[in-house]
Chain A
Amino acid sequence: MAGEIVLGTALAAIGAGVAVGMAGLGSGIGQGIAAAGSVGAVAEDPDMFARGIIFTALPETQAIYGFLIAILLLVFSGIMNPGVTISVASGIVAIGAGAAVGFAGLGSGMGQGITASSSVGAVVEEPDMFARGIIFTALSETQAIYGFLIAILLMVFGGILGT
């Protein structure tokens, strides 16, 4: 089976790995920071559990974007769909798509985790800060969305999706 994979497909596989790996790294670090802050808040005020979970869940999205792009790459490059093959050029485009969503997710996830942790601290200190904390935390999402959109565009216009 492995011998049938063409170079373009193999490059797309690297793109998928970068997408999910880097986005997952950023999301994991961000979520870890947010979770550590939330645990501290819950230790002082058990009523903070639900709000802590919300803030901790926010940096999850970057990993989801990376995961989606990786799945699309795996399906449309032929890894999960043996009848399909892509060219070397499209394979390089796939790496670009993976890097776009991966690195954007890395920065966005870490940034969102820091803001989420800080917001948890602000909410446990002053409960009225919840809505404002969510808004500030959501701001870091935009970079991940840019990366996700560019990854989709690269796949569409780079001959991976819709071929």
Chain B
Amino acid sequence: MVEDIATIVTSLGFPSVEAFIGAMFLVLAVVAVVVVVSTIKPVLNMFPYTYPNARVRARTGRLFTEKEFSEIVESQNIEEVKNYLRSVPDYAKYIDLYPLEKALDTQLAETYDLIARITPDNSKDVFKFLLKKWDIKNIKSIIIAKKANLSTEETLNWIVPFGGLTDKLDSLIEADTVTDVLNALEGTEYPKILEDAIPIYNETGLLLPLEASLDQYLLKNLLRASATPEDDNTSLLHNYIGTMIDAANIKVIIRAKADNLKYEDIEAYMISDGYQIREWKLKELMEAEDVAGVVNGLEGTDYAPMLSDAMTDYTETNSMASFENALDSHVSKTAKTISLKNQFGIGPIIGFLNRKENEVKNLKIIARGKREEGFSTSMIKEMLI
């Protein structure tokens, strides 16, 4: 037997059985390395998301259920809503510190801040950029407050203590006029962003161009920041952000067409290059005659079926709510699909952020409904996302 093996080994050109075994080991070792590397690689891609996903899923579990929302909506007044939120640790720490809307925004901003800190490096830049949302919200709140001659204390009620401008907030709030606020922004990136809108404001006194420039800067750069996907995770993040931007563009166009505005009136408020709705298509939609023309123009895109259904409601009620709800639902559906499709990657983060946004929006709707006269429980329920 041993002689047979030795004969075979020698006939294969090996000087000894030991040499043959050595060569076999070398081959097996190479095969093993290939198997191990190809098996481990996809697993290691999941690894950076395990920690953030566990944290995000813990917070997803704390989001309000439909039953809990029903209980909040049934509250008799705003104080009962606040009492309910005091029993929820995430909101409790801000409820007694700030007015309700500010407390809700602050909790949301804290969530964004957490995500930007714990998210893996390949998507960190996008989430860090997303934090500018709070700078932009604060600048918009301050200029609106200055225009309305609100006091410093009243202005503070609308300021969210998060973002990159926290050190400058005091000087911005203490400015006397909108122009002083814009001057106080010197040294930040914002004067350059507002350079085209400031002359229009100086001429017309309208804040809308300033607000539109800030919103455009955020969305355009957010899309740009996610535009070169490194892998599946960043590609899905780009898909989600792109869908949000498309929905925002379509909302602006439909609202403008409902008010009979022309291409020249709308163009300045658009994010020039969307995701699925590219620049040429946006131009075509802005040139449409009316709302029906916009909806027909979207034929062949993901937005067509839902907007056609919403068109029926719009024809009956003349309310924009059906379009806005349809587009918001589409964004939420996209987030949900991504969260299910990519459970070991960025999916849970995107799914959670979308649901958290919706939760805060719903709480604000309830707060407003309870504060203002004439909103029944059923009316508030209908308005919830």
Residues of A within 8 A of B (CB): 7, 11, 14, 18, 22, 25, 29, 32-34, 36-41, 43-45, 48, 88, 92, 99, 103, 106-107, 110, 113-114, 117-118, 120-122, 124-126
A11-B21 in contact (CB<8A) = yes
Contacts of A41 in B (CB 8 A): 54-55, 57-58
Q: Return the CB mask of B114-152 against A: 1 if under 8 Å, else 0.
A: 000010000000000000000000000000000000000
B308 within 8 Å of A (CB atoms): no
Return chain B residues, CB-CB under 8 Å to A122. Answer: 57
B50 with A22: CB separation less than 8 A = no
CB distance from A2 to the nearest CB of B (A): 16
Contacts of A106 in B (CB 8 A): 36, 39
Chain B contact residues, CB within 8 Å of chain A: 17-18, 21, 25, 32, 35-36, 39-40, 43-44, 46-47, 50-55, 57-61, 118, 343-344, 348
Partner of A29, one of B21, B25, B40, B55: B40
| A contacts with B: majority SS | helix
Given contact pairs A22-B32, A29-B43, enumerate 8 new A-B contacts (beta carbons under 8 Å): A29-B40, A29-B44, A37-B51, A45-B58, A103-B35, A114-B344, A121-B53, A124-B58
- CB-based closest 9 A-B pairs: A40-B54, A44-B58, A125-B61, A121-B57, A36-B50, A124-B58, A40-B51, A37-B54, A40-B55
Chain B's interface: helix, strand, loop or mixed, by majority? helix
Q: B17 → chain A, closest Cβ, in Å? A: 7
Q: Are A88 and B17 in contact (CB under 8 A)?
A: yes
Q: Given the interface contacts A124-B58, A126-B61, does A117 sit within 8 Å of B50 by beta carbon?
A: yes
A118 with B343: in contact, given A37-B53, A40-B53 (CB under 8 Å)?
A: yes
CA distance A44 to B40 in the complex (A): 29
Once the chains are docked, how many angstroms separate the CA of A120 from the CA of B51?
10
CB atoms of B54 and A38 under 8 A apart: yes
Q: Which residues of B contact A88 (CB under 8 A)?
A: 17, 21
* Smallest beta-carbon distance B65→chain A, Å: 11
Are the CB atoms of A44 and B59 closer together than 8 Å? yes
- Report the minimal beta-carbon distance from B21 to chain A, rounded to whole angstroms: 7
Q: B92 CB to closest chain A CB, in angstroms?
A: 15
Contact of B47 with A124 in the complex, beta carbons under 8 Å: no
Q: A113 to chain B: which residues have CB within 8 Å?
A: 43
